[in-house]
Amino acid sequence: MSIRKIVTFTEDVLIEGGREVSPAARVAVVAAIVKNPWAGQGFVEDLTEGIDANASDLGALLAPRVLKALGSPAEAYGKAAIVGLNGEIEHGSGLIHTLAFGNHFRDAANATTLLPAVEKRGPAGVVFDIPLKHITDATIRSHHQSIEVRINDAPHPDEIVIALAAAAQGRPQQRLADFSTESK
């Protein structure tokens, strides 16, 4: 696995809707910019070798970093794979849609739900939103949120941005009722 760089950032919302958010609502993102393991090979029928060689290592690298950046237990989480223009969306999907990748984050966060994801292809600096949902109950509306990400020089055409995001809480000032309160 060839990693060009790792980007880490946090966002703390202090005021939402004109009211103080206390404690501040924190979301953390950690992204690894990696060489696409299938770059320059043309159409690869079986992606298994590249997935086996990279997915678990990426999950093991990113999961503890995003939780450390969050600085609190995660209540919501998500993932992303943004493929450079010379790759296929399937290349990014192959790396993040495997238990070898996702279980590192689930285990570290004591989570049980599927990780929501975004996959897309784009040029360096492409904007993408990572969706987040509650770590143990995907029906909890307060934790359905997203974080916007942009890395100015990534992905290069032969790279993939692999990212994890975690939130220490639901949306700031959320006030929607749980799904279970609605009649059909």
pLDDT of residue 176: 80
pLDDT of residue 1: 84
pLDDT of residue 122: 97
pLDDT of residue 184: 63
How many structural domains is the chain composed of?
Answer: 1
CB contact at 8 A, 151 and 162: no
pLDDT of residue 174: 86
Range of the domain at 84: 3-93+105-141+163-173
Q: Is residue 149 part of a domain?
A: no
DSSP 44-94: -S--HHHHHHHHHHHHHHHHHHHHHHH-S--SEEEEEEEE-TTS-HHHHHH
Q: Strands 127-134, 76-83: parallel, antiparallel or unpaired by DSSP? A: antiparallel
Dihedral sign computed on CA atoms, order 68, 71, 75, 81: negative
By the 10 Å C-beta count (0-12 exposed, 13-18 middle, 19+ buried), 145 is classed as buried
User: H helices of the chain, where?
Assistant: 48-70, 89-96, 99-109
Q: Is residue 117 part of a domain?
A: yes
Q: Is residue 29 part of a domain?
A: yes
CATH number at residue 70: 3.30.1330.110
pLDDT in tens, 126-178: 999 999 999 999 888 999 999 999 999 999 999 999 999 999 999 998 888 77
pLDDT in tens, 91-124: 999 999 999 999 999 999 999 999 999 999 999 9
